[in-house]
């Protein structure tokens, strides 16, 4: 019987102090020939070979820390996700469809519930929660409440663009508090958008909608796809540039 050799992996975790916060660096030693570093949603991952070599860039921990510090000095906004604080009572969220205010009601129980009254996002959360627990759960609750409230307005905007430019068949609309992309289109015609998009300027929202509508015809990023996007929004590149430069700041 043929047995495949399993990759061996060693993991080292380091918290890199940046100002009053920290960025988690995770170093993976694995079966590979080169070094690769990448920023993920929760960590900075450095992947290196199992065996050190004479021509490697240096000590992995020291090299990873220096890379993070240099990157932070030149482009700090890409690390915004690591310094998010829990939403506070009275925080306002300016969306394309109106401004909403968070009303936090601490309660002596477990679990959290929320509903919308007018322009108020009313959330009941445990009084005993730590800052970390609030930072983890409250943005998701705000996202959920806004998705429920703004669904019909967002759908109307989608259909207006579709009727004006494409006349494709849209089968469904859903939202996720998605941090990896701004939207997606399934092969059966369902569109999904990140709720973070609610916080973006109107031209950027328009661009992402047009982008996903174009995917109803071209499920790729070919020249034909981009030509279809440009037919509805000739200056779409300024919106892609805005998202690249400012997208990391759009969080609840």
User: Where do the domains of the chain lie?
Assistant: 10-83, 92-249
- What is the per-residue pLDDT across 5-36, written as a single tens digit (0 to 9) for each? 445 577 888 889 887 678 889 999 988 888 99
Pick the more confident residue, 140 or 76: 140
The confidence score (pLDDT) of residue 58 equals 83
Name the fold adopted by 92-249.
Zincin-like (3.30.2010)
Sign of CA dihedral 92, 94, 95, 99: positive
**DSSP 8-state class, residue 89:** T
Arithmetic mean of pLDDT, 164-171: 95
Pick the more confident residue, 81 or 197: 197
Distance CA 177, CA 196 (A): 7
In this structure, are strands 183-185 and 190-194 parallel, antiparallel, or unpaired? antiparallel
The confidence score (pLDDT) of residue 6 equals 46
Distance CA 139, CA 196 (A): 10
Q: Is residue 166 predicted with pLDDT exceeding 90?
A: yes
Mean pLDDT of all residues in the chain? 90
Q: Is residue 1 predicted with pLDDT exceeding 50?
A: no
- What is the per-residue pLDDT across 229-241, written as a single tens digit (0 to 9) for each? 999 999 999 999 9
Arithmetic mean of pLDDT, 32-49: 88
User: What proportion of the chain, given as a percentage, has pLDDT over 70?
Assistant: 96
- In this prediction the pTM is 0.72
């Amino acid at each position: 019987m043929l047995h495949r050799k399993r990759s061996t992996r060693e993991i080292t975790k380091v918290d890199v102090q940046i100002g009053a916060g920290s960025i988690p660096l995770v170093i993976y030693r694995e079966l590979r020939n080169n070094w690769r570093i990448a920023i993920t949603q929760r960590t900075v991952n450095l992947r290196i070979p199992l065996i050190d070599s004479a021509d490697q860039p240096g000590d992995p921990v020291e090299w990873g820390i220096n890379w993070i510090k240099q990157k932070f000095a030149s482009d700090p906004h890409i690390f915004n996700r690591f310094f998010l604080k829990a939403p506070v009572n009275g925080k306002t969220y300016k969306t394309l469809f109106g401004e909403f205010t968070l009303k936090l009601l601490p309660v002596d129980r477990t679990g959290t519930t929320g509903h919308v009254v007018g322009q108020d996002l009313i959330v009941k959360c445990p009084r005993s929660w730590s800052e970390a627990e609030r930072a983890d759960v409250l943005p998701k609750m705000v996202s959920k409440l806004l998705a429920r409230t703004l669904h019909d307005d967002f759908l109307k905007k989608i259909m207006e663009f579709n009727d004006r430019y494409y006349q494709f068949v849209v089968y469904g609309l859903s939202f996720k508090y998605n941090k990896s992309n701004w939207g997606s289109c399934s092969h059966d015609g369902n569109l999904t958008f990140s709720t973070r998009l609610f916080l973006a300027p109107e031209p950027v929202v328009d661009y992402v909608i047009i982008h996903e509508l174009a995917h109803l015809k071209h499920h790729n990023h070919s020249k034909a796809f981009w030509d279809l996007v440009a037919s509805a929004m000739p200056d779409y590149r300024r919106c892609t540039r805005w998202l690249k430069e400012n997208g990391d700041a759009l969080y609840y």
